[in-house]
Amino acid sequence: MTKSMYRYIGDFWKNRNSPEFKDLMRQRIIQWRREGATERVEKPTRLDRARALGYKAKQGYIVVRARVRRGGRRKQRPVRGRKSRNMGVNKITPKKSIKVIAEERVGRRYSNLEVLNSYWVGQDGKHKFFEIILIDPQHPVIAKDPRTSWISLKELRGDDVFYIKNPVHRGRVHRGLTSAAKKSRGLRNKGYGAEKIRPSLRAHGRGGN
């Protein structure tokens, strides 16, 4: 059976131990380190992954590359004496994944857009790099597309039609509604053993209507 172009791209990214992949990644990481923590890119680095996550090469879609430090929390060592096991410095990790942290930073930077999804594009000893797909809810192309119209809301002002953000999905990246955030919240699990994670760990057991 004939492979598609996206299948070849996917196979290249899956075989990360090949010399060709390592040489290409080394060159890219050197360049990405010199750039800012968030950089808008003209087109996705992994076209197959971006398309699978909802990206389209048309107006209203934006791709931003984010750089986030690796590892656990940076905690200062106590000034007073402690037992080693009571220091509480190492192995203190956030409940959010680094991917979610990258999405939130880009979401704050581009506050008029909404985060659709994200994917890994590289890492070195200090940083991880992700590309985040954002969409503009106020753009007519996004609002009229059946695949993305859920994020927009039509508003009539006299005889003119405007599109605004749907309040239900406003700030979805900061409310843990992206795919990576739902994974961190444990929402990939269903049924037995997952009774206490919905609607969230904090909200469970509060009661109310």
Domain ranges of the chain: 5-136
Using CA atoms, how far apart are residues 118 and 105, in angstroms rounded to an integer? 12
Measured from the Cβ of residue 99, the count of other Cβ atoms closer than 10 Å reads 22
pLDDT of residue 208: 54
CATH class of 5-136: alpha beta
Measured from the Cβ of residue 12, the count of other Cβ atoms closer than 10 Å reads 15
Q: CA nearest 153: which of 144, 142, 163? A: 163
pLDDT of residue 91: 87
Secondary structure of 158-188 as H, E, C letters: CCEEEEEECHHHCCHHHHCCCHHHHHHCCCC
**Low-confidence residues of the chain, pLDDT below 50?**
none
Using CA atoms, how far apart are residues 145 and 148, in angstroms rounded to an integer? 6
Using CA atoms, how far apart are residues 81 and 57, in angstroms rounded to an integer? 58
Model confidence, pTM = 0.89
pLDDT of residue 207: 65
| C-alpha pair distances (Å), 131 with each of 28, 43, 167 | 14, 10, 25
